[in-house]
Amino acid sequence: MSRLRNPWGRPRGLVLVTAVYVLWSIVPVAVAILFAFNDGRSRTTWQGFSTRWFTGATGSVFHDAALQSSLKHTLLLGVLCVLVATPLGVALALGLQRWRGAGSGSVNTVMLLPLVTPEIVMGVALLLLFLKIFPGIGLGTTAQVIGQVTFTLSYVVVIVRGRLVSIGRDYEEVAADLGAPPRDQLLRVLLPLLAPAIVASAAVVFAISIDDFVVTQYLSSDASTTTVSMLLYSSARGAPTPALNALATVALVITLATLALAFLVYRRFAGGSDAAVAAALEV
């Protein structure tokens, strides 16, 4: 049976390479998570299981001021970035998808550029922008949100546009034939159909924002605008306890939970688009 499907023989070597690769890519992180639960101060010697670095009274994620503030600031940036980038990106995706003609090509290129610009170039550019052109805004939370929105915007556009293509134009045209004015076509037909993609892109933006390092670091002002990634960078080598591992674990769980939730929402609703259309068209 498997010989029929695969006339090249069993790829034992490939199985081995893939298995070793998957182990190599996951196990180190799994060990780092394991040590977040170490019942001692070591990050290299296992001293028994405990949750003291998450909830303990001293030096834990939930009680150490620096760790807690970095987690809060990371989540704050994530939420603000989603709130700005998602509507901006959805509107840009709709506009770019339907607007043909003079200028649309170059806008398209500019929209894709942040995806391929090395982050350090964007970091330096935004740093100089806020130092030299907008000293009024300066560095700090606002600058960090603006910086993150600037490169997450493109992800929203790409995701939403993919969905727009798969929806096609039929639904709008039906709505138009039934006499719906343009505003209703947009708000009552297109947007409900896009909802799964909007949720998915919001989740992706949130996850990227939480994991972002370079731009966020370049635009931070002081300790109060330090994020989890920045703390990982500055204390990975000198960290005295596994509390840093615990912090990274908490951030990882938040990221993965967000993405898993968005995936479920997408699968639940993007599949049943006909039902969504029916609901949207029902006056």
Partner 1 sequence: MMGSRWTWRLLALPGVAWLSVFFLVALYAVVSVAFGNQNTLSEPVPFWNPLDWNVGYVLTVLRDIGSGGQYLTVFLRTFLFVGVALALSLAIGYPVAYYAARHTGRWRGLVLLALVLPFWINYLMRMLAWINLLGPGGWGTIVLHDVGIERLFIWLGLLSERGGWLDGQPTTVIIALVYGYVPFLILPLFASLDRIDQRQIEAARDLGASPFQAFRRVTLPLSLPGILAGSVLIALPMFGDYYTPDLVCASAKCNMIGNQIDQFTRQGSEKVTGAVLTLLLALVLLVLMAYYLRSTRSADADLRAGEA
Q: Is 49 helix (H, G, I), strand (E, B) or coil?
A: strand
- Taking the least distance from each CB to partner 1, the nearer of 129 and 195 is 129
Cα–Cα separations (whole angstroms), residue 32 to 189, 202, 224, 246: 47, 28, 26, 9
- Taking the least distance from each CB to partner 1, the nearer of 113 and 278 is 113
- Taking the least distance from each CB to partner 1, the nearer of 88 and 195 is 88
Distance CA 179, CA 169 (A): 16
Distance CA 128, CA 162 (A): 34
CB of 109 to partner 1, least distance (A): 6
Q: Is 38 helix (H, G, I), strand (E, B) or coil?
A: strand
CB of 283 to partner 1, least distance (A): 17
Distance CA 1, CA 36 (A): 46
CB of 33 to partner 1, least distance (A): 9
- Taking the least distance from each CB to partner 1, the nearer of 28 and 57 is 28
Give the bridge partners for 202, in sequence order.
Answer: none
CB of 8 to partner 1, least distance (A): 5
Give the bridge partners for 224, in sequence order.
Answer: none
- Taking the least distance from each CB to partner 1, the nearer of 208 and 276 is 208
- Taking the least distance from each CB to partner 1, the nearer of 60 and 217 is 217
CB of 257 to partner 1, least distance (A): 11
- Taking the least distance from each CB to partner 1, the nearer of 183 and 274 is 183
CB of 79 to partner 1, least distance (A): 18
Query: DSSP assignment of 203-267, as one string?
Result: HHHHHHHHH--HHHHHT--SGGG--HHHHHHHHTTT--STHHHHHHHHHHHHHHHHHHHHHHHHH
Distance CA 183, CA 139 (A): 39
Which of 90, 118, 96 has the alpha carbon at shortest distance from 108? 96
CB of 63 to partner 1, least distance (A): 21
